[in-house]
Structure 1
């Protein structure tokens, strides 16, 4: 029989007959090393479990925080719309990192609703369009509209 390196075969014999044949593990030969190994394993497991519990809770908390951050975000007239759009895109990238998926049409609609009060007419006309717009296309539309508004104020 092939034995693993940490197993040893021990035979106890009485006269010519073998009474007991047993394999004794490393634990029986070196009990102190065995206890050290078990202790280290238990400490590592306890440490891993505490880290897992801490970061799993933080992960759930950060998901809730991200969702609140996105839904509570309001665009203001005092800052450029494209700049604020990029901030929202950054929040949405965090969604992806946390494997939080949302339909793109819902995201586009939510961003249109977040446009500042001075964009009220643009918001209304954009909502009534029949075709769906991607997030990239929305960014292009907002950039063009903002450039138009800046140029029309300068003239």
Structure 2
């Protein structure tokens, strides 16, 4: 009995549901997990109908190609125990793969394909509908990549990963992106606050690889976070220092309140005059 191993099943939780636009990447990842569970045969295997087997076993062919059933020959059973086991295994695996495909679809697509009981039929229908070359989809994918811009309100490294996904979408649509283009396009998509960093890299004579550029951005981002943290600590110390100076100016150098002294002296003079 085949069943999914724990690791691929847990990794599938990160798979984005199929919405039609992400079919190529979805299909590749889905096929990887199905193959890891050794269930890919479900997407290609067509079980033979029991009626055909019954006809072959009960009507053997003669020399001239015709079929006949001699009275003295006892018909063999329609299916053997082995064939029954194979069919039972296929039905179990088909249910597993079908459930896997439907579970990782958007609700709109789930309503369309839930009525089909064959995993192979669902897989083939999706391939015909979304797997064919579509010029409109390619234009949309290129537009998303060109118009993508990073912002200061989100972590830069997280946005670098989003950019990598856009490049993967281009490659899934069979649109080649060279490493040089991918690397320096990333530099142009950094937030506006990174203008000084961009100019510094552009004026360097060194050519950066993709890994070097991402590492360089990581270092710069860590430096910026430390600077923000240090400036916040310095500001807090300055506010605290100003509060202490204000207290000293009110209490005097001896630590006693000058206003309180003047009040006591005036009160003593009034008592002297009354006496």
Listed one character per residue, the Cα deviations across residues 27-75 of structure 1 (whole Å, up to 9, x for unaligned) are xxxxxxxxxxxxxxxxxxxxx9xx7577535x32221111111100011
Normalised by the length of structure 1, the TM-score is 0.62
Among 223, 226, 248, which residue is 1:151 paired with? 226
Which shows bigger deviation, 110-119 or 126-135? 126-135
Listed one character per residue, the Cα deviations across residues 89-143 of structure 1 (whole Å, up to 9, x for unaligned) are 0111122222211222122221111111110000111112212111121111111
Counterpart in 1 of 2:168? 93
Pair 154,54 (structure 1): closer, same or farther in 2 beyond 3 Å: closer
- Secondary structure at 1:62 match in 2: helix
Q: Residues of 2 paired with 1:54 and 1:117: CA distance? A: 37
Q: Residues of 1 paired with 2:154 and 2:178: CA distance? A: 27
Q: Residues of 2 paired with 1:85 and 1:55: CA distance? A: 27
- Secondary structure at 2:228 match in 1: helix
Pair 153,133 (structure 1): closer, same or farther in 2 beyond 3 Å: same
Counterpart in 1 of 2:183? 108
Structure 1 residue ranges without an equivalent (≥5): 7-47
- Secondary structure at 2:227 match in 1: helix
- Secondary structure at 1:99 match in 2: coil
Among 26, 46, 56, which residue is 2:132 paired with? 56
- Secondary structure at 2:132 match in 1: helix
More strand by share: 1
Counterpart in 2 of 1:41? none
Pair 54,84 (structure 1): closer, same or farther in 2 beyond 3 Å: closer
Q: Residues of 2 paired with 1:137 and 1:99: CA distance? A: 26
Q: Residues of 2 paired with 1:151 and 1:54: CA distance? A: 47
Which shows bigger deviation, 59-68 or 115-124? 59-68
- Would you say how many aligned residue pairs link Structure 1 and Structure 2? 110
Root-mean-square deviation (Å):
2.6
Among 194, 208, 212, which residue is 1:133 paired with? 208
Does residue 1:73 correspond to 2:117, yes or no? no
Q: Residues of 2 paired with 1:70 and 1:54: CA distance? A: 20
2:167, 2:177 within 8 Å by CA — same for their partners in 1? no
Structure number with larger C-alpha Rg: 2
Q: Residues of 2 paired with 1:114 and 1:128: CA distance? A: 17
